[in-house]
Amino acid sequence: MAVKKSIKEIIRDEYKRCSQDPVHFMRKYCIIQHPTKGKMYFNLYPFQEEALNQFKDNRYNVVLKSRQLGISTLSAGYSLWKMIFQSDYNVLVIATKQDVAKNLVTKVRVMHDNLPSWLKGKTMEDNKLSLRFKNGSQIKAISSKGDAGRSEALSLLVIDEAAFVDRIDEIWTAAQQTLATGGGAIMLSTPNGTGNLFHKTWSQAEAGGQFNPIKLHWTVHPERDQVWRDLQTELLGEKSAAQECDCDFISSGHTVVDGPIIQWYEQTYVEDPKEKRGFDGNYWIWEYPNYSNSYVVVADVARGDGADYSAFHVLDVKTMQQVAEYKGKIGTTEYGNMLISVATEWNNALLVIENANIGWAVLQVAIDKGYENLYYSYKQDAYVDEDVHLRKGYDLKNKGQKVPGFSTTSKTRPLIISKLETYFREKSPVVKSKRLVDELYVFIWNGSRAEAQRGYNDDLVMAFGIALWVRDTALRLHQQGVDLSRKALGGFGKSAGVYSAGPDKPKEWQWKSGDKDNEDLTWLLK
């Protein structure tokens, strides 16, 4: 005859089972606040059970997820489970905003308040942003700061919507020391473009890195079907739906150049350079000078604070092909001498140096050395207007109204960005550089301004945008009296173009315009 267990024995056994099995603990005892159904038991779906067990079995977890799968709530339940059954367990929650981080602590509090008395931890501190038990375990919520977690002895770091957290690279670096003694991390988010820390962490996890990857596509939810997915596209738009539902890094985010186009470039053109030259090996060459071709060298100059890089591109004017590139940290005098040497090597190329910040020091080197084929800008911002070019022309001999170098201003910058986006959308340039492609992945719209994500650089991107602008405007639109339509401008790189040889162009730099005879355009680069 079986001996009937006492209530005390039943509770003891149940307590032990809960301490060993977070799924059982959460399914049977955790109550959540559902947005439409109110308070209810957290009846885990199979995908949630699997994720919870992976949290338990792996120190570091990165979760790439669709929207509204309850993973933040799952992280809250897992945190509570650890806090109850492990003394001095310290959880830190970081999110984009304090209210978002606070929400996860609130989930923990709701679950804890509704536990049976024999499971509850005795509360020593309870406020909106933290909860601390008598056993020394606690959870805190903070918004993203560069030093977040630096002074904490962390057992678990939860980064909610990690792809959207500002300065996440600094946060993760700051937390490393506190996690080194055995702490773990859960990094969870929908995607937000590529190149950021969340994307890098996910990619490394898939390749067998430190983090355990957990991918939760919208199809894992048993109550969602194609009708639901189609509704998301209708409600959110195609791009946002791909981000929020499909775990699609490439289609997500707010990159200036659409992610699929960047990926196409990476798969189609990108290759290792034929030669890596220079004192630092950062001058990359894919093609060698063809002395029948004309080139433009466009240089961006570092600010001088050590945070960014000096960069330049060598572009074949006729084919719009990137033939060489540099990105490195170099002194102004050395950079000026390098640019003169490179421009001379590439058939005395038109040398374009951005004149912002310490760009003037580099320009002065080129002027002092007497490099003749140096680009000049109109002093007035009006020069950016294409009609002005057609009306005024571009006479290098008349330099009184011009300043050396290219001026990136509030008027020119949006036009450069527009030119960059248009040409890449049309897949016109030939880009060989992985470095440039990587920068494009993190070159995003921040409100109305296009710039690199925080912690990244856009030196190569901006230099390439200026190169396209100079080629398209400062070279082609300087042909006074020539009417070039938008359609014609957009077609360059896809077809022979006005500079290409053809039946009507017996000489490479001659172009038949309307009723005019063949016009020699060699002067544009001389």
Give the contacts of 375 (CB within 8 A, at least 6 positions apart): 350, 351, 352, 353, 404, 405, 406, 470, 474
Q: Does residue 66 share a domain with residue 117?
A: yes
Question: Quick one: pLDDT at residue 270?
Answer: 95
The structure's pTM equals 0.63
Q: Does residue 177 share a domain with residue 246?
A: yes
Q: Does residue 306 share a domain with residue 428?
A: yes
Question: Quick one: pLDDT at residue 182?
Answer: 84
Q: Does residue 240 share a domain with residue 292?
A: no
Question: Quick one: pLDDT at residue 252?
Answer: 66
Angle at 37 between CA 32 and CA 42, to 5 degrees: 30
* Boundary-marking domain end, from 222, 253, 284: 253
Q: Does residue 277 share a domain with residue 219?
A: no
Residue 195 located in a structural domain? yes
**Rounded to an integer, what distance in angstroms lies between the CA atom of residue 181 and that of residue 177?**
8
Question: Quick one: pLDDT at residue 202?
Answer: 92
All residue ranges of the chain with pLDDT < 70 are 1-3, 145-152, 251-253, 304-307, 378-401, 473-526
Q: Does residue 379 share a domain with residue 332?
A: yes
Residue 265 located in a structural domain? no
- Strands (E) in 317-421, as ranges, are 322-328, 350-353, 376-378, 402-404
Q: 75: closest CA among 162, 144, 134, 148?
A: 162
The tally of domains found in the chain comes to: 2
Q: Does residue 36 share a domain with residue 105?
A: yes
Question: Quick one: pLDDT at residue 287?
Answer: 95
Q: Does residue 232 share a domain with residue 126?
A: yes
Residue 432 located in a structural domain? yes
CA distance to 207, 299, 300, 443, per residue, from 414 (Å): 38, 18, 17, 14
Question: Quick one: pLDDT at residue 150?
Answer: 55
Residue 95 located in a structural domain? yes
In degrees and rounded to multiples of 5, residue 266 shows phi and psi of: -60, -40
Residue 22 located in a structural domain? no
Question: Quick one: pLDDT at residue 2?
Answer: 61
* Boundary-marking domain end, from 253, 288, 319: 253
Question: Quick one: pLDDT at residue 44?
Answer: 93
Q: Does residue 435 share a domain with residue 309?
A: yes
Q: What is the CATH number of the domain that holds 80?
A: 3.40.50.300
Question: Quick one: pLDDT at residue 250?
Answer: 72
Q: Does residue 247 share a domain with residue 284?
A: no
Q: Are 211 and 188 in contact (CB under 8 A)?
A: no
Question: Quick one: pLDDT at residue 387?
Answer: 47
Q: 60: closest CA among 176, 213, 164?
A: 213
Domain that holds residue 155: 27-253
Residue 512 located in a structural domain? no
Question: Quick one: pLDDT at residue 152?
Answer: 62
Residue type, 385: D
Q: Are 42 and 77 in contact (CB under 8 A)?
A: yes
* Boundary-marking domain end, from 253, 283, 318: 253
Q: Does residue 431 share a domain with residue 398?
A: yes
Residue 249 located in a structural domain? yes
Q: What is the CATH number of the domain that holds 363?
A: 3.30.420.240
Q: Does residue 231 share a domain with residue 83?
A: yes
**Rounded to an integer, what distance in angstroms lies between the CA atom of residue 112 and that of residue 84?**
9
Residue 510 located in a structural domain? no
